[in-house]
Each structure stands twice: as C-alpha cells, then as structure tokens.
Amino acid sequence: MNPILECKSLTKKYGSFTALSNVSLTLDRGKIIGLLGPNGSGKTTLIKLINGLLVPESGSILISGMEPGVETKKIVSYLPEKTYLADWMQVSQVVEFFEDFYENFDSKKAYEMLSDLRIDPKKRLKTLSKGTKEKVQLILVMSRKADLYCLDEPIGGVDPAARDYILNTIITNYNENATVLISTHLISDIEKVLDEVIFIKDGAITLHSSVDDIRLKEGKSVDSLFREVFRC
Amino acid sequence: MQWSIDSERPVYIQLIEHIQANIISGNFKPGDKIPSVRDLAAEAGVNPNTMQRALAELERMGLIFTNRTSGRYITSDTEVIKKLKERSAMGIIEEFIEKMKQIGFNEEEILELLTKTIKEMRK
C-alpha cells in the first residue's frame, strides 16, 4: 500500500515570510506520530496544507496517492486548532450534522464517548466550558473511521484526567491501518503513545525518528531532547 | 501490577521487563492466556505498536507463544521461567553487592550482615 502521506519539497510563504521551506516527509500507515515544534514553527501550516486549506507555493502533497481535495477529505479527519462549529447548536445536533456530512462517522461511538466524559448531549455548545468544547470536537473527529487523523493541539485545554481518557481513546480507537498525526507541545503527556516524532523548527524538519530510538540513542526522553534542541 | 513507564529508557524494553516481572511473581502463570495487544496497550497507556514489539521480543525469548487461532499464552515450559527467575535474582544480588561495596563493606562483611539480617527477620 502507498504511504498515507507524502510531501515533496513543500514550501509555503505568507507574503515575504516563509512558513515552510522545502519540507519532504513520508508518513506510513498504522502509526501515531507527534508533530513537535515551538510556537510559530510551521505545525499548523503543515496540517492546513494536508487538509487543503492552504495551497503551497511549490512542492507536492499526496494523501494515499491523491492530491488534497474532496476525495482526501473523505479519508482525513481533521481537528483544527480553533472551533468552527456554530455555538447555538446542541451537542446532539452537531453529532447529527457530522453524521450527515461524513459517510464514515459513527454516532454510536460519539455518544459512548460523550457519556464516558459525562457531557450532556442536550446542552448547547455556547454553554459549555472551553475544555468541554474541545472534548466535544475531539470526540467528533475521533468518531470517524478515517485513514489519517490530523489533530492540531488536541489536548491543550483539557484537564489531565480527560487528557488520559483522550489518549486512551486514540490508542484504542484508531484502526490498524490508520495514522494519527498529533501536533502539540505537551510532549511528556503524550510521548508514551507515540511511535514516531517529527521535530519542526523555523519551517524545516530537523528530526524524524521513532520514540524508542531517541530514548535508546540519546538516553533521554523526547521531552528532554525537545527542551535541549529548542532551548531559548 | 501497576504499569509504570519512566521517561528515559525505551518504552518497549520497560514493557518487556514489566511482563517478565509479572511472570516471575506468578501474576501470569505458565500456560495463561494473555490479553490482546490492544487491551494490554490500553492498560499500560502505550502505543499498540510498541506493545506488539515487546510481545514479539518476549516470544523470541521463549517466554510467550502464539496460537494462530486463539491468541497469545505464557509458556508452559517451567524450565524457561525458572531460568528467568534465576537471572532476575542474580541481577538483584549483583546490584545489592555493588551498592554495599560502594558504602564500604567487603565481601565477608556483606555475607555476615546478610546472615544476621535474615536471622533477625525470621524472629
């Protein structure tokens, strides 16, 4: 099978600022991968390019062999950094909305997770706390049976107990051929569940390695290595 | 037994050690069926691929075996488990002796103290 994601010499500029410069990256199927980098390093830009929300200046992106478009949106489940849901809607209405929208959405699964996290489906989004809203969004995204999950900062706003539940949801729910790309800087919380990490700095990839290789070679956690590499 | 993964050493090695400890302590008995990769991974809070790697390594060591249709089991070969136990004991003893030497005891003194302590603990 072809790789789930193949980027070749990808460059993205915002005016005169180069957000991504000549990024080449291949992601295999069946992996949980951390996209790690400081603020403004290009994480969100890369994820938006994968989702067809931005167009690169040069280079190519192939998702399961296809350019970003309608077909790839069917197989990519995307959690953006900001919410885009109408906040007058009830949680149950958003679930219906997703069910209408995506063929691969499993509302039974969504309701199970909502009940595990004690979120009342009858509540309107605008009455929920920031963290609870984030949980709802993540539940929606993880309830799709996708080939590639792109999660942009999925655990930033939620408490540690819910974080554990969410990580557990990720490792138990994703199917064996699906890849999960998680951008975050909360490394110590998630490094146990990652297969691989990608370090991104000033729009370029500086490291792409398996977590256990880093621990074996460097004798330290990914978190410590990150602090060293990106020391301010 | 609670899974505890420290942050410095490779995760799969720690998983191997944890399962070995469970076998040694009798928590996993010879011939026991072990949970699926997915369940074990969820329990330990680690990536299923990493758990898979640890189990493959344990299989290579002869501590677990796979039945094509019904899953993975702890070996029934008590000889293999006995050897594992002995290796583990040796490790603990060597570490102990090393530490005792560091705080200034020679071999005879170590032995003497050990015998004395065992006697006292029996009371």
The DSSP code for A53 is S
Tally of CB atoms within 10 A around B104: 7
State how far residue B101 is from chain A, nearest Cα, in angstroms.
26
Nearest to B17 by CA among B73, B92, B76, B79: B92
Average pLDDT over residues A65-72: 94
The verdict on B50 touching A (C-beta cutoff 8 Å) is: yes
Average pLDDT over residues A166-176: 80
Partners of residue A194 in chain B, C-beta under 8 Å: 47
The DSSP code for A144 is B
Torsion of CA A173, A179, A184, A187, to 10 degrees: 80
Q: What is the CA radius of gyration of chain A?
A: 17
> Nearest by CB to A195, which of B8, B9, B49?
B49
pLDDT in tens, B10-67: 999 999 999 999 999 889 999 999 999 988 998 898 999 999 999 999 999 999 999 8
Can you tell me the distance from the alpha carbon of A179 to that of A193, in angstroms, rounded to the nearest whole number?
Answer: 13
Averaged pLDDT of chain B: 91
pLDDT band at residue A142 under the 50/70/90 scheme: very high
pTM of the shown model? 0.85
* % residues pLDDT > 70 (chain A): 100
Residue B47 near residue B41, CB atoms below 8 Å: yes
Give the strands of the sheet with A32-36, arranged side by side.
Answer: A76-79, A148-152, A179-184, A32-36, A196-201, A204-210
Residue A170 has pLDDT above 90, yes or no: no
State how far residue B98 is from chain A, nearest Cα, in angstroms.
22
Average pLDDT over residues A91-97: 96
> Nearest by CB to A192, which of B38, B45, B53?
B45
Partners of residue B10 in chain A, C-beta under 8 Å: 212, 215-216
Specify the pLDDT at position B1: 67
Specify the pLDDT at position A48: 95
Specify the pLDDT at position A63: 96
Can you tell me the distance from the alpha carbon of B117 to that of B123, in angstroms, rounded to the nearest whole number?
Answer: 10
The verdict on A168 touching B (C-beta cutoff 8 Å) is: yes
Nearest to A176 by CA among B41, B35, B44: B41
> Nearest by CB to B47, which of A32, A219, A221?
A32
Write the Ramachandran bin of A167: left for phi over 0, alpha for psi from -120 to 50, otherwise beta.
alpha
Q: Determine whether the interchain pair B50/A195 forms a contact, defined as Cβ–Cβ distance below 8 Å.
A: yes
Nearest to A193 by CA among B46, B3, B14: B46
Report the chain B residue with the minimal C-alpha distance to residue A29. B49
Partners of residue A228 in chain B, C-beta under 8 Å: none
Partners of residue B47 in chain A, C-beta under 8 Å: 32, 171, 192-195
**Which of A6-15, A71-80, A212-221 is least confident?**
A212-221
Q: Determine whether the interchain pair B45/A168 forms a contact, defined as Cβ–Cβ distance below 8 Å.
A: yes
Helix axis angle for B37-44 and A160-173, nearest 10°, is 170
pLDDT band at residue A209 under the 50/70/90 scheme: very high
Partners of residue A223 in chain B, C-beta under 8 Å: 7
Report the chain B residue with the minimal C-alpha distance to residue A225. B8
Residue A212 near residue B12, CB atoms below 8 Å: yes
Averaged pLDDT of chain A: 92
Report the chain A residue with the minimal C-alpha distance to residue B37. A172
Average pLDDT over residues A134-141: 91
Report the chain B residue with the minimal C-alpha distance to residue A180. B47
Residue B8 has pLDDT above 90, yes or no: no
Nearest to A151 by CA among A209, A106, A93, A193: A193
